[in-house]
Amino acid sequence: MTLKTIYIARHGYRSNWLPPPHPKPVTGIDGDPPLAEHGLEQAQELAHYILSIQPQPSMIFSSPFYRCLQTATPIAQLLDCDIVLENGIGEWYKPDRPTIPKPADCQILSQWFPNLKDTWSPVHYPSTDGENEEQIMNRCKVFLSKFIPTFEEKYPEIETVLFVTHAATKIALGMSLLGFSNVRETIDDEDTRLRAGSCSLDEYQLDKEGKWEIVMNGNCEFLTEGEEMHWDFLNAHEAGSDADIKARDKRNSKKAEGDEEEYEDVYVTLDVPSNNFNTSTIPPTAKLQVSGLHTETPLFMVNNDVYQGDWKNLVGTEVAFTEDMEEKYKVSDRIQLHDVNPS
């Protein structure tokens, strides 16, 4: 038989998303925080929702991080099915992160999770040096190309599975299944993006032509508090990182002060075409207008000159300073501008 349905869930609300003090990681691994009590409640709500729908997963594949196994456990208990580890759907870490956490193995984790079984050998592993956006997309494409045939050969009787993973990986897996080339693309003509709130659920089904289609995107209707902690690749920070939480707190503080306009500071480098490196292409007083920054090819107008942009990943990082020079931010993206003015 063929694998026909793949559910993909993000783990629940993490303990380190709350103000300190934070509990120490049960595994003793830095970067492997447990769920908050609220996250455990979300996991229960997710489990009961999955119990109420069809088709139900017959097997759960979890990222080897503690928070994902905590999320998967209530589902496994209600459905009476096994959990196995798959490193290929593990967390995403950027290459400039000081330390890339190495998760615990099945032997260690099984002491806390009785539904975890050592009956599956991971088909793929993330780079231990971190990944940029292109690399996590490639990781998920390679993982799926290995996972699906291996799974169908080993478990020919199972048609439906569940992946419990992380925001970035959840998105990259979905975009890979849908046949897109990068994680920043929208999935339809209405600029829809994959949603990735905590404990949100996606559903992908195999159609008659053998192509995957999405029938559920970031569903949170079953959660008491609805969607929380949504993240996507337009966010400048790793999902759930200290920098991410700090940026969210800053936005929330502005909203609490009566600032109704929600925004986020994002720093990118603009590469402007120039035929003379001894002169400034753009004067300091130039007027800059931007359209479609959320798309792959945003448009820029500098005074009366029009450029089309292409997003590029930086090799390494650059640093941008605020006007008062008090704060600095890492720049991880570059937009290459191409002159589209009529000649």
CA atoms within 13 A on the CB side of 315: 0
- Cα gap 318→66, rounded to integer Å: 33
Q: For position 268, what pLDDT does the model report?
A: 76
Task: Give me the CATH code for the 267-339 domain, please.
Answer: 2.60.40.4370
The mean pLDDT value of the chain amounts to 89
Q: For position 183, what pLDDT does the model report?
A: 97
Q: For position 327, what pLDDT does the model report?
A: 58
Give pLDDT tens digits for 31-41: 999 999 999 99
Q: Which residue type, as a one-letter code, is found at position 272?
A: V
Same fold, 5-234 and 267-339: no
- Cα gap 161→258, rounded to integer Å: 45
- Cα gap 46→124, rounded to integer Å: 27
Q: Domain residue spans in the chain?
A: 5-234, 267-339
Contact by Cβ (8 Å): 227, 99 = no
Averaged over successive runs of 10 residues, the pLDDT of the chain (343 residues) comes to 95 96 96 97 99 98 99 98 99 94 98 98 98 98 99 98 99 99 95 98 98 98 98 84 77 62 64 64 74 78 81 67 58 77 57
Q: For position 226, what pLDDT does the model report?
A: 98
Q: For position 316, what pLDDT does the model report?
A: 61
Contact by Cβ (8 Å): 173, 89 = yes
* Burial of 189 per CB tally in 10 Å (0-12, 13-18, 19+): exposed
Q: For position 289, what pLDDT does the model report?
A: 79
Cβ atoms < 10 Å from Cβ of 170: 30
Q: Which residue type, as a one-letter code, is found at position 81?
A: C
- Cα gap 297→282, rounded to integer Å: 20
Task: Give me the CATH code for the 5-234 domain, please.
Answer: 3.40.50.1240
